[in-house]
Structure 1
Amino acid sequence: MKYKIIPVTNFNQNCYLIWCTKTFQAALIDPGGEYKKILIILKKYKLKITKILITHGHLDHIGAAYILSKILDIPVLGPHREDIFWIKNIKLQNKMFNLPCCKFKNNIWLKNNQNIFIGKINFHVYHLPGHTPGHIVFFNKSHHVIISGDIIFKNNIGRTDLPKSNFYILKKSIKKILSLSKDKDNIILPGHGKKTSIFEVKKLI
């Protein structure tokens, strides 16, 4: 498995390009905006983009998903159905985050304990609310990688001052991530900023 971080928008949101080195199939995770920038980078990699994955419904994570799905002719998977509040209120999000309004339409709502394949890479889906009601994370056990969206950052945890967020639920979700890791120091790829690890997260909780 390999990945490239593509920072987009004024929020420096981490859009991830992740691919299987055996099949060269790839996915975009949380393309939050600047679709032209993302397309330019995709042209540099000779990969077959098969899907778009979404961790949660905030505008800075979904902003370019719809248009890229149409251009690349690929489905959008996620987030969990509990984030429908945010999807229905994109105009409200525009005022909150000061990002351009966009159209968003997914093909599949993801559920807890699903498995998503990118080539031969298996990501297990966990519904871990708190930052948003329908927030999910993607966990690849064999490569020890957790794509955490906005639940965990380097030296910090996700925001809980937004509508439908909850600090106590978020803390429970973070403990769930810690329980998944057991004796492994999994790498965490967050929605913003530099990567971190389970070892670092343990210092925050």
Structure 2
Amino acid sequence: MQFHLVPVTPFQQNCSLLWCEDSKRAAVVDPGGDLDKILAAVEERGLKLEKILLTHGHLDHVGGTAALSKQLQLPIEGPHKADDFWIQQLPMQAQMFGFPSVEVFTPDRWLEQGDQVTVGDQPLEVYHCPGHTPGHVIFFHRLSQLALVGDVLFAGSIGRTDFPQGDHDTLIRSIKERLWPLGDEVRFVPGHGPMSTFGQERQSNPFVADKRFG
């Protein structure tokens, strides 16, 4: 599995292109906006976009979804249905943050804990990791030990939990029970900022390092 990060929106959200090396079939994960940048990266690599994958319903992660899906006839998979209320509020989110107008959409497939999605011939495991939002999911490619974790975990930090239906204790539990068991060597793409590994965060992240929990 190959990947390329395209920072989008004024929030510099890490939109990810994922593709199967053999088939060049690709998915775009969290197209928050700046579709021209995303499509330029797709064209530059000679990829064939086949779907959109979403980690959660916040504007900077899904703002370009409806337009991209409509433009290229792409199915939308994710997030978990508990984030539908965020998707329904997209026009209001856009107005509040001064973004271009954004359309509401309904994913073709809501995702659940234990589901699997594919990119080309490559399988990705789906883990429901609520806390930042109630319907947040992450995607894990076991063969390349790569996780796309949205706003659950960052290098040196964790997702905010002061939004509606966010919950700090739930987020910590998601990280400890759903992410750490995947292995210390797993590299992860966060929703914002640089990549890291689960092992590094277990050592030094001030919010979820092992030493915090005895």
Code of the aligned partner of 2:118: F
Deviation at 1:161? Answer: 1.4
Change (3 A) 1:34 1:181: same
Q: Secondary structure at the match of 2:69?
A: helix
The answer for the alignment partner of 1:136 in structure 2 is 137
The answer for the alignment partner of 1:32 in structure 2 is 32
Whole-angstrom distance in 2 between the partners of 1:56 and 1:133 = 9
* Greater Cα offset, 89-98 or 102-111: 89-98
What do residues 102-158 of structure 1 show as CA deviations (whole Å, max 9, x unaligned)? 113221111111111111211000111000000000011111011000001111111
Pair 1:17-2:17 in alignment: yes
Equivalenced residue count is: 204
Code of the aligned partner of 1:109: W
Pair 1:110-2:94 in alignment: no
Whole-angstrom distance in 1 between the partners of 2:101 and 2:120 = 32
The answer for the alignment partner of 1:196 in structure 2 is 196
The answer for the alignment partner of 2:147 in structure 1 is 146
Whole-angstrom distance in 2 between the partners of 1:176 and 1:148 = 14
Q: Secondary structure at the match of 1:37?
A: helix
Structure 1 residue ranges without an equivalent (≥5)? none
Pair 1:82-2:78 in alignment: no
Code of the aligned partner of 1:170: L
Deviation at 1:95? Answer: 4.5
Whole-angstrom distance in 2 between the partners of 1:158 and 1:100 = 25
The answer to whether the 8 Å contact 1:153/1:191 transfers is yes
What do residues 11-31 of structure 1 show as CA deviations (whole Å, max 9, x unaligned)? 000110110111111100000
The alignment-based identity, stated in percent, is: 40
The TM-score with structure 2 as length reference comes to 0.91
The answer to whether the 8 Å contact 1:59/1:97 transfers is no
Whole-angstrom distance in 2 between the partners of 1:104 and 1:48 = 25
The TM-score with structure 1 as length reference comes to 0.94
Pair 1:4-2:4 in alignment: yes
Whole-angstrom distance in 2 between the partners of 1:169 and 1:99 = 30
Q: Secondary structure at the match of 2:42?
A: helix
The answer for the alignment partner of 1:44 in structure 2 is 44
Whole-angstrom distance in 2 between the partners of 1:4 and 1:161 = 30
Whole-angstrom distance in 2 between the partners of 1:33 and 1:178 = 27
Deviation at 1:169? Answer: 0.4
Structure 2 residue ranges without an equivalent (≥5)? 209-214
The answer to whether the 8 Å contact 2:95/2:101 transfers is no
The answer to whether the 8 Å contact 1:189/1:195 transfers is yes
The 5-angstrom pairing of residues 153-192 of structure 1 reads 153-182=154-183, 184-192=184-192
Q: Secondary structure at the match of 2:61?
A: helix
The answer for the alignment partner of 2:58 in structure 1 is 58
The answer to whether the 8 Å contact 2:57/2:87 transfers is yes
Whole-angstrom distance in 2 between the partners of 1:180 and 1:96 = 38
Pair 1:125-2:126 in alignment: yes
Once superposed, what is the RMSD of the aligned Cα atoms? Answer: 1.3
The answer for the alignment partner of 2:98 in structure 1 is 98
Code of the aligned partner of 1:10: P
The answer for the alignment partner of 2:72 in structure 1 is 72
Runs of 4+ with deviation above 6 angstroms: none
Whole-angstrom distance in 2 between the partners of 1:98 and 1:169 = 30
Q: Secondary structure at the match of 1:40?
A: helix
What do residues 138-185 of structure 1 show as CA deviations (whole Å, max 9, x unaligned)? 011111011000001111111111111110000001102344324x41
Code of the aligned partner of 2:122: I
Whole-angstrom distance in 1 between the partners of 2:138 and 2:179 = 13
